[in-house]
Amino acid sequence: MSDTGKLILVPTPVGNLGDITLRAIEVLKNADIILAEDTRVSAKLLKHLVIEKKLIAHHQFNEHQQINQITAKIREGNTVALISDAGTPAISDPGFLLVRACIGQNIDVECLPGPTALIPALAVSGLASDRFVFEGFLPRKKGRKKRMSELSEESRTMIFYESPFRLVKTLSELHEFLGGDRLICVCREISKIFEEIKRGSLSEVAEYYIQNPPKGEIVVVIEGKKKKHNH
């Protein structure tokens, strides 16, 4: 335990466990407390890294109640590491509320650079990567159609996370709002053994996944609306 505690966000592999950084291993070994989105998932990672530490569950259902206890522990001088099941905490994963609370109490917050699913998907898509917008998960019900309608006018490359159970439905709805010719890249199981990257038009890729129901973690990258040039 140090004199001054802090919160450190530690990105964890989105697939291949070899993607963990040396610095992330060092932080996890030295942390006084490790908060994990799902302790069962994170226990496997710590076992692989030969780190014996007790994990405390910190997820969307308990993060509100826990914040005061955690910030009190940090103010006592504890270094707290936060990990999610995969990727960088606070990016479509728990962490934002705790980070905001720490900042509000003048507690040091660090985030290590490391794995995240959206950047490899964008880089490998072949779509414009100079300007892009990350949408996380689209709304499930309320506001879903409105959001898709707004995004039909977006000129930057768009990146979404999606569940395999909703991918076909989402692609067919995006087809309706964006048109079937819009270029798209669906990345499935990034950095895992069964990684799959499917590129093509929205109509082609939607048809492919109707014929081949997807499994695993999915990132969807879609080209932005082309600007009309006035002659």
Bin 166: left if φ > 0, else alpha if -120 < ψ < 50, else beta: alpha
- Segments of the chain with pLDDT less than 70: 1-3, 229-231
**pLDDT at position 228, please?**
75
Strands 183-188 and 218-222: antiparallel
**pLDDT at position 4, please?**
82
- Is the separation of the CB atoms in 69 and 39 below 8 Å? no
CATH 3.30.950.10 fits 118-222, yes or no: yes
Give the DSSP per-residue string, 182-230.
Answer: SEEEEEESTTSTT-EEEEEEHHHHHHHHHHS---S-EEEEEPPPPPPPP
Give the DSSP per-residue string, 61-118.
Answer: TTHHHHHHHHHHHHHTT-EEEEE-SSB-TTSSSTTHHHHHHHHHTT-EEEE-----SH
The two structure tokens encoding residue 74: 């940090």
Q: Which CATH superfamily is domain 6-111 in?
A: Tetrapyrrole methylase, N-terminal domain (3.40.1010.10)
**pLDDT at position 3, please?**
65
**pLDDT at position 2, please?**
54
Q: Give 15-30 pLDDT, tens digit per residue.
A: 999 999 999 999 999 9
Q: Give 92-105 pLDDT, tens digit per residue.
A: 899 999 999 999 99
- The C-alpha angle with vertex 21 and arms to 19 and 25, in degrees rounded to 5, equals 120
**pLDDT at position 131, please?**
97
Instruction: List 33's β-bridge partners, or say none.
Output: 80
**pLDDT at position 227, please?**
81
Mean of pLDDT over the chain: 94
Question: Domain residues of the chain, as ranges?
Answer: 6-111, 118-222
- The C-alpha angle with vertex 218 and arms to 43 and 21, in degrees rounded to 5, equals 45
**pLDDT at position 214, please?**
95
**pLDDT at position 181, please?**
96
